[in-house]
A = this chain, B = another copy of it.
Amino acid sequence: MSVTAPEGFEAAGVAVGLKSSGGPDVAVVVNRGPLKLGAAVFTSNRAKANPIIWSQQVIQDGVVEAIVLNSGGANCFTGSFGFQTTHQTAEKAAELLGISAGDVLICSTGLIGTGDEVFRAKVLDGTEQGIAQLSADGGEAASLAIMTTDSKPKRSVVAREGWSIGGMAKGAGMLAPGLATMLVVITTDAVLEAAEADSALRRATGITFDRLDSDGCMSTNDQVTLLVSGASGIRPEPADFAAALTEVCLDLAQQLQGDAEGASHDITIRVVHAASESDAVEVGRSVARNNLFKAAIFGNDPNWGRVLAAIGTTAAEFDPYDVDVWMNGVRVCSQGAPDASREEVDLTPRATDLLIDLRVGEATATILTNDLTHDYVHENSAYAT
Contact = CB atoms under 8 A, between A and B. Distances in A.
Given A289-B216, A296-B384, A333-B77, A338 B113 contact: yes
Contacts of A311: 47
A287 B330 CA distance: 36
A191 to B, nearest CB: 38
Contacts of A376: 291, 295, 377
Contacts of A303: 111-112, 383-384
Contact of A292 (B217, B312, B342, B385): B217
A336 interface: yes
Interface in A347-385: 372-374, 376-378, 380-385
A320 interface: yes
Contacts of A290: 216-217
B78 A337 contact: yes
Contacts of A382: 299, 301
Given A296-B383, A381-B299, A112 B320 contact: no
A215 B304 CA distance: 18
Given A47-B309, A305-B111, A374-B374, A173 B292 contact: yes
Contacts of A45: 309, 312-313
A77 B359 CA distance: 17
Interface string A28-42: 000000000000000
Contacts of A48: 312, 320
B78 A338 contact: yes
A76 B306 CA distance: 11
A295 B380 contact: yes
A372 B383 contact: no
A303 B310 CA distance: 28
Contact of A46 (B78, B295, B313, B381): B313
Interface in A295-329: 295-296, 298-299, 301, 303-306, 308-314, 320-321
A295 B377 contact: yes
B342 A217 contact: no
28 contacts: A45-B309, A47-B311, A47-B320, A48-B312, A48-B320, A77-B308, A77-B333, A77-B336, A77-B337, A78-B337, A112-B304, A113-B305, A113-B333, A113-B338, A217-B291, A217-B310, A220-B309, A289-B289, A291-B291, A291-B372, A291-B380, A292-B383, A296-B383, A299-B383, A299-B385, A301-B382, A301-B383, A374-B378
